Amino acid sequence: MFYGEYVSSVDDKGRIIVPARLRATVADAGDAGFVMTLGEDGCVTLYTTKRWKELERQVNRAPQGSRSTRRRRRFLFSQADMGTCDRQGRLRLPNRLLEGAGISREVVVVGVSDQIEVWDKARWEAFKDEMMAEREHDAESYPV
């Protein structure tokens, strides 16, 4: 499982450093790399290859007669790419994913249970502020 948030940056080659703690989780699961795609809410989402295969099965089992299912399936898979970290823990994110998520230089790498999200730092801070306001407003509906 992936937890925490880590500030990083994108280098000139489009690489980010995946924090050692998150890389260790991947290695402990016996997985070698990531499948990445544009995530919900304007981020890049990284999945272990094992988790991606599960997600792919779920998406492909959905009724293909639904226009929204076909559109989501098409978008999810067309934006997907595979990658592994180099010896320094760097992972190259394709330009189309960086652009699609509005990522330029500073990023926040976020562990979200069974996936990792990479956010533009300013967008992440705005998202966190929004979530804190919602949490304070709807405190009774949150389990923790």
Residue 32 has a pLDDT of 77
- Please write the tens of the pLDDT for every residue from 46-77: 999 999 999 999 999 998 888 988 998 999 99
CATH number given to 2-141? 3.40.1550.20
pLDDT of 138 over the 80 cut: no
| 86 vs 141, residue with greater confidence | 86
Please state, for a pLDDT cut of 70, what percent of the chain lies above it.
95
The Cα 96–Cα 38 span in angstroms is 9
The Cα 84–Cα 93 span in angstroms is 10
CA 79 to each of CA 59, 113, 135: distance values in angstroms, whole numbers, following the listed order: 15, 22, 32
Residue 109 has a pLDDT of 98
Residue 10 has a pLDDT of 98
Residue 144 has a pLDDT of 60
Please state, for a pLDDT cut of 90, what percent of the chain lies above it.
76
Q: Which of 9-13, 73-77, 131-135, 137-141 has the highest mean pLDDT?
A: 9-13
Q: If you average pLDDT over residues 122-144, what whole number do you get? A: 82
* DSSP of 8-70: EE--TTSEEEPPHHHHHHHHHTT---EEEEE-TTS-EEEEEHHHHHHHHHHHHHS-TTSHHHH
CA 118 to each of CA 58, 61, 90, 104, 127: distance values in angstroms, whole numbers, following the listed order: 23, 28, 13, 11, 13
The Cα 127–Cα 105 span in angstroms is 18
Spans of all domains in the chain: 2-141
Residue 81: in which H helix or E strand, if any? strand 81-83
Residue 143 has a pLDDT of 64
Residue 22 has a pLDDT of 95
Q: If you average pLDDT over residues 85-110, what whole number do you get? A: 96
